[in-house]
Chains A and B, each alone.
Chain A
C-alpha cells in the first residue's frame, strides 16, 4: 500500500481512539460516581445530563484542539497538501508528538470537564459539597487513567502513521531533522505505574470506605432480627461492587500495560528482527522504526546504523568487486610481469653473455690491433727500404739507358762504317770480277793463240788468280761485313730491346716507386688508423668491461626483480583469495530491496 493510498481519513483514524477512550472513561467515571454515591432525590438525572453535556463538549473541544496540532498531517490526509519530503517530515513530527500531546490535552480536558461538572452540578442540583468534592476527586482519578490509555492507543496508531510517513525516506535525514523527544521511557513507566496502581488503589479505598459506611448504615437501620441478613446482603453487594471495580481496574491496567508494553516492545521486536536479518546477512533497506523515548533513540540509531551498514555493505560489495577485478588484473599483470621478468632475465642472460663475448672480442681486437700495428710498422719499413731500392733501381736503369744510348750510337756509327766498307768492297769486287773476266778472256785468247799465247795465258792466269784472291778476300770481308752487319743488327736489336726494356723498366720502376709510396702512405695511414683503433679498442674494452659489469649488476637486479615479482604474484594470489573471501562475505549481505 502506498502512502497515497493509505493517507485518506487517517487524521480521523488517529484521533478516534482519543474520543472513544475519553468518552468511555467519562462514562465509567460517571457510573462509578453514580454507583458509589448516594445522590439526593432527583439529582441523579441531572448528574447524567450534565455528564453527557459536559463530556460531549469536552470531547469535542479536545478533538478540535488535537486537530489543530495535526495541521500538516490532516492536510496530507485530505490531499490539500502535496506529499513532499518537507511536508511528510513536518507531518511526521506532528504525528510523533501527537500521543504525548493528546495525553496532556486529555488530562487538561478531564480536569476542565470535571471542574465544570462539579460546579454545574453544585449550582444546578444543589448537591452537597461532599458530592462535588467526590466528583472532582473521581475525575482527577479517572482522567489520567483515560488519558494514559488514550495516549497508549493513539501511540500505537501514531507509530504506524510515523512509519508510513517515513517510508522511502532516509532515517538519517528524518532523525537529523527531528527534535530529540524529551520524555523518557522511565518517566513514562513511573507515570504509568502511578496512574495504573495508585489510582485504582485510591478508588478501592474510597469504595471500601463508602461500602463500609453503607454497611454500618444498613446495620443501624435494619431491624434487630434482620440485621445480620441485611448486613450479609450488604456485604455481598460490597463484594460484588468491589470485585467489579477491581476487575475493571485490573482490566484497565492490563490493557494499559499491554498497550504500553507493545508500544515499547513492538519497536524493539522489529529492531531485533531487522538486526537478526542483518545478522543473517539479509540487508533490507533501512526503515525508520517508530518508538518513544529511548526506543525512538535506539530505533534512530539502529536505522542510521542499518542505513550506514547497507550503504557500507553496498560500497563494500562494489569495492570488493573492484578489488576482485583489480586483484585479478593485478594477478594477470603480475603473471605477465613475472613472465616478462623471466623473459627479461633470459634476455639479460643472453645479453650478458653477448657482452662478455663483446668484451672478449674487444680484447682480441686490441691484441690484433697491436699485431697489425707491428705489421704496418714493418710494412712501412719495408716500403721505405723498397722505395730506396726502387730509386737505386731507377738510377741504375737510367745509367743503363744512357749506356744503351751510347751503344746504339756506336752501333750506328759502326753500321755506317760497315756500309762504307761494304761499298768499298763492292767496288773492289767489281774491279776484281772484271779483272777476273778480263783475265779469263785473256787466258782464253792466249789459249786460242796456241804456243804463242802461252806466256800471255800464264800471265792472264796469274792475274785471274790475283783477282780470285781478291775476290776470295773480299768474300771473306763480305762475310765479315755480313757478320758485322748481323752482329750490329743484333746489337741494334738488342739495344733497341734494351731501350724498350729500360723504358718499360723505368716505367715499371716509376710504377713500383709510386706503388711503394702508396704502400708507405697506406702503411703510415694504417699505422695511424691502427693506433686509433688500438686506442679506441682499449677505450672500448674499458667501456665493454664496465658494460659487462653493469650487465651483471642488472642481471642480478633482474633476478631479484623476478624473485620479487614471483613474491608479488604469490601475494596477489593471496590477495585474490582474500578478495574472494571478502566477496563471499559481502555476498552474504543480500540486498533485499535490490
Chain B
C-alpha cells in the first residue's frame, strides 16, 4: 500500500518531535490540573475533564522509557474511534506533511506504534499511530 504524504500535527515533547495525523488531532489545549488514577501505569499522568469527557494524559517520554522531568505546557488531544487521549507537549510546531510509508521505530512496546524518522522543517520526528497505541495501551489492563 502506497500512501502519499499526509498532514500531521507535529509537536515537541522534551526535545523529541512527535507527529499525529492531523485528522486525529482534535484539539490542542493548555495542560490543566490532573487527577491521579489509582492503579494506573506510570506513563498515565492522570485525567482531566474536557467538554464533559474524562481524558487520560499520556507522558510520551515515560511511555518510551526515557522519563524526563519537564513542565509540559500543552496537551494534544487525539481522538480515535475507540476513545480519546491526550499527549503531553512542550511545544506544538504545527501541521506538516509526513510521508505515508515509514518504518516502525520498534517491534514491541509503544515504539511498535511509532514510525519514522520523518523529516519536518523543525527536524526529525516520530509519527504516532493513535489507534494502535490506544489499543496497545488499553490492552495493558
A and B touch in the complex (CB under 8 A): yes
Interface residues of A (CB under 8 A from B): 433, 436-437, 440-441, 443-444, 447-448, 457, 461, 464
Interface pick from B27-35, B59-67, B101-109, B111-119: B27-35
Given A457-B95, A461-B94, A461-B95, check contact A444 B9 (CB 8 Å). yes
Which residues from chain B contact A440 at a C-beta distance below 8 Å?
28, 92, 94
* B27:A448 contact, CB within 8 angstroms: no
Cβ of B23: which chain A residues have Cβ within 8 Å of it? 447-448
**B27 CB contacts on chain A under 8 angstroms:** 441, 444
Chain A CB within 8 A of B99 CB? no
Whole-angstrom CA separation of A441 from B22 in the bound complex: 10
Q: Cβ of A437: which chain B residues have Cβ within 8 Å of it?
A: 28-30, 74
Question: Which listed residue (B26, B30, B74, B95) contacts A443, Cβ 8 A?
Answer: B95
Give me 23 A-to-B residue pairs in the complex whose CB atoms sit less than 8 angstroms apart, sorted by A's number.
A433-B30, A436-B92, A437-B28, A437-B29, A437-B30, A437-B74, A440-B28, A441-B27, A441-B28, A443-B95, A444-B9, A444-B22, A444-B25, A444-B26, A444-B27, A444-B95, A447-B7, A447-B22, A448-B22, A448-B23, A457-B95, A461-B95, A464-B94
Report the number of A-B residue pairs with Cβ-Cβ less than 8 Å: 30
Contacts of A457 in B (CB 8 A): 95
A441 CB contacts on chain B under 8 angstroms = 27-28
Give the Cβ gap from B120 to chain A, nearest Cβ, in Å.
14
In chain B between 2 and 50, which residues have their CB closer than 8 angstroms to a CB of chain A? 7, 9, 22-23, 25-30
The 7 closest A-B pairs by CB, nearest first: A447-B22, A447-B7, A440-B28, A447-B95, A443-B95, A448-B23, A444-B25
CB <8 Å contact, A443 and B29: no
A436→B29 CA distance, assembly (Å)? 10
List B contacts of A433 (CB < 8 A): 30
Q: Shortest beta-carbon distance, B38 to chain A, in Å?
A: 31
Least Cβ distance of B58 to chain A in Å?
Answer: 19
Query: In whole Å, how far is B9's beta carbon from the nearest beta carbon of chain A?
Result: 7
B68: min CB distance to chain A, Å: 20
User: Closest Cβ of chain B: how far from A192's Cβ, in Å?
Assistant: 182
Q: How far is the CB of A320 from chain B (nearest CB, A)?
A: 134
Closest A residue by C-beta to B26: A444
Apart from A440-B28, A457-B95, A461-B95, list 10 A-B contacts with CB within 8 A.
A437-B74, A441-B27, A443-B95, A444-B9, A444-B26, A444-B27, A444-B95, A447-B7, A447-B22, A447-B95
**What is B's interface to A at a CB cutoff of 8 Å?**
7, 9, 22-23, 25-30, 74, 92, 94-95
Chain B minimum-CB-distance residue to A433: B30
Central interface residue in B7, B23, B29, by most chain A CB within 10 Å? B7
Residues of A contacting B9 with CB < 8 Å?
Answer: 444
Q: How far is the CA of A437 from the CA of B94 in the complex (A)?
A: 10
Specify which chain A residues have a CB less than 8 angstroms from the CB of B74 in the assembled complex. 437
Instruction: Give Cα A436 to B94, complex, Å.
Output: 10
Determine the distance from Cα of A457 to Cα of B27 in the docked complex, in whole angstroms.
15
Report the separation of the CA atoms of residues A162 and B27 in the bound assembly, to the nearest whole angstrom: 188
Q: Would you give the shortest CB distance from A453 to chain B, in whole angstroms? A: 10
Q: Which residues of B contact A443 (CB under 8 A)?
A: 94-95
- How far, in whole Å, are A500 and B25 apart by their CA atoms in the complex? 59
Q: How far is the CA of A457 from the CA of B94 in the complex (A)?
A: 10
The residue of chain B having its C-beta at the shortest distance from the C-beta of A437 within the complex is B28
Which residues in A have their C-beta under 8 angstroms from that of B25? 444
Contacts of A461 in B (CB 8 A): 94-95
Q: Smallest CB-CB separation from B8: which chain A residue?
A: A447
Compute how far the CA of A464 lies from the CA of B93 in the bound complex, rounded to whole angstroms: 9
Complex: chain A residue closest to B7, CB-CB: A447
Chain A nearest CB from B76 CB (Å) reads: 9
User: Within the assembled complex, what's the spacing in Å between the Cα atoms of A443 and B97?
Assistant: 13
CB distance from B2 to the nearest CB of A (A): 20
Considering the chains assembled together, what is the distance between the CA atoms of A436 and B22 in angstroms?
A: 16
CA distance A448 to B22 in the complex (A): 7
Alpha-carbon gap, A207 to B22, bound state (A): 233
Name, among B23, B26, B29, B92, the residue most crowded by chain A CB atoms within 10 Å (CB to CB).
Answer: B92
